[in-house]
Amino acid sequence: MEHIGISVIVPIYNTKPYLKECVDSILKQEVEVPFEVLLVDDGATDGCAEMCDEFAAKDKRVRVFHQENQGLSAARNTGIDAARGRYYAFVDSDDFVRPQYLATLRAAIRQYGADMAICGAEDVTEWGESLPRPAYTQELEEGVHTGDELLPGFYGEASAYYTVAWNKLYKAELWKTLRYPDGLIHEDDAVAHELFHTAKRVACVPEPLYCYRLREGSICRTDLTPARFDGVTALVMRCEYFAKENLPQELQDQAVAACWHRYLSLCAQAKTMKNPAILNRWNEEQARMKALLPAARHCPCLTAAEKFSCARWGGMPLPKAKEGRRK
């Protein structure tokens, strides 16, 4: 069996207009080691499944996995379970990468003896045109850091740069016992902190080698739905993990504040709605947030007004779906 250096995992669901550009950009990588491309068709209904099979028929580096629609987390996990490479990378099926993406990240890992490497990224239009200002690069310092040194970056202006799965190359060992939680749409927020804490050394490359496509209808650009509360669930998981690992108190305070900020933002939207599904999910999430009320009271990252809102929305009875909204 051929030695595989890198496994590139591409979860796919109804992104047919962008899929060819995505896969072609991966197959054209200028990297010296053999790599495989794992296309995980998560029950696509727009012709992506057939396109995946065509890619595999034309290029032996492509492997295809078809499954019923289970969501992004499950699709990524399918790829992780099947990957044979020494390193893993993730590329979303509506994005694309520059020709030196894999080679540059691999070289950084080898140069610094790192467990993971991160590169810069740029936003592109729906048609693939570069936007003037690069995204997620403001706080990136070239060189090597411990994973814990980078955790405060989760709460800066470029937080998405650190928490997303897709602008990184990972040693396979980091995923030995770790998987994305099935069903969560904010799966990155539930996993990234554990990856960074586990990684002893993380190499940073400022060059924007990943192209993130801004388009209508993507998971991160939708109106309020019950699933948006998944983002709160993920951040609660992060708070629990930081406490369990006894990470510095300042970092725990930042995690608590970020969790409450996201929850209160959703509360502000949900309180004007009568959607039963949203109200039910809101009630479920409030139960989780009650456990964080003691931490909120003593959190220096929250203002007095925010602490009042935490007590109000974290402890007050919420309207039940069948009763509608109380006045």
The domain spans of the chain are 6-220, 223-315
Q: What is the pLDDT of residue 218?
A: 56
Q: What is the pLDDT of residue 191?
A: 96
The alpha carbon of 278 is separated from its chain's Cα centroid by a whole number of angstroms, namely 23
Range ranked top by mean pLDDT from 1-10, 108-117, 209-218, 263-272: 108-117
Q: What is the mean pLDDT of residues 290-307?
A: 91
Residue 325 has pLDDT above 60, yes or no: no
Q: What is the pLDDT of residue 156?
A: 81
What's the angle, vertex CA 14, arms to CA 9 and CA 20, rounded to 5?
60
SS3 call for 94: coil
Q: What is the pLDDT of residue 57?
A: 98
pLDDT-derived band of residue 323, with 50, 70 and 90 as boundaries? very low
User: Do the Cβ atoms of 146 and 64 come closer than 8 Å?
Assistant: no
pLDDT-derived band of residue 222, with 50, 70 and 90 as boundaries? low
Q: What is the mean pLDDT of residues 51-59?
A: 98
Residue 273 has pLDDT above 70, yes or no: yes
Q: What is the pLDDT of residue 320?
A: 52
- Name the average pLDDT for the chain: 90
Nearest alpha carbon to residue 90 among 68, 73, 104, 70: 73
The alpha carbon of 165 is separated from its chain's Cα centroid by a whole number of angstroms, namely 5
Q: Whole-angstrom Cα distance, residue 307 to residue 285?
A: 18
Within 10 A of 320 (CB to CB), how many other CB atoms are there? 12
Q: Whole-angstrom Cα distance, residue 280 to residue 274?
A: 10
Residue pLDDT, tens place only, 107-148: 999 999 999 999 999 889 888 888 876 544 465 778 999 999
Q: What is the pLDDT of residue 79?
A: 98
Tokens 């814990």, residue?
Answer: 148
User: Do the Cβ atoms of 68 and 92 come closer than 8 Å?
Assistant: no
- Which amino acid belongs to residue 325? R
CA–CA distance from 153 to each of 88, 114, 207 (Å)? 22, 18, 18
Contacts of 154 (CB under 8 A, 6+ apart): 162, 163, 192, 193, 254, 258
Q: Whole-angstrom Cα distance, residue 302 to residue 253?
A: 9
Residue 167 has pLDDT above 50, yes or no: yes
User: How buried is 252 (Cβ within 10 angstroms: 0-12 exposed, 13-18 middle, 19+ buried)?
Assistant: buried
CA–CA distance from 37 to each of 41, 55, 165, 166, 214 (Å)? 13, 10, 16, 14, 23
Q: What is the pLDDT of residue 160?
A: 76
**CA Rg value for the chain:** 21
Q: Is 6-220 assigned to CATH 3.40.30.10? A: no
Q: Whole-angstrom Cα distance, residue 298 to residue 117?
A: 35
pLDDT-derived band of residue 159, with 50, 70 and 90 as boundaries? confident
Q: Whole-angstrom Cα distance, residue 164 to residue 166?
A: 6
Residue 49 has pLDDT above 80, yes or no: yes
Q: What is the DSSP letter of 97?
A: E
Nearest alpha carbon to residue 124 among 104, 91, 159, 94: 94
pLDDT-derived band of residue 94, with 50, 70 and 90 as boundaries? very high
Q: What is the DSSP string of 163-226?
A: H-STTEEEEGGGGSS--PPTT-TTHHHHHHHHHHHH-S-EEEEEEEEEEEEP-TT-GGG----G
Q: What is the mean pLDDT of residues 189-217?
A: 92
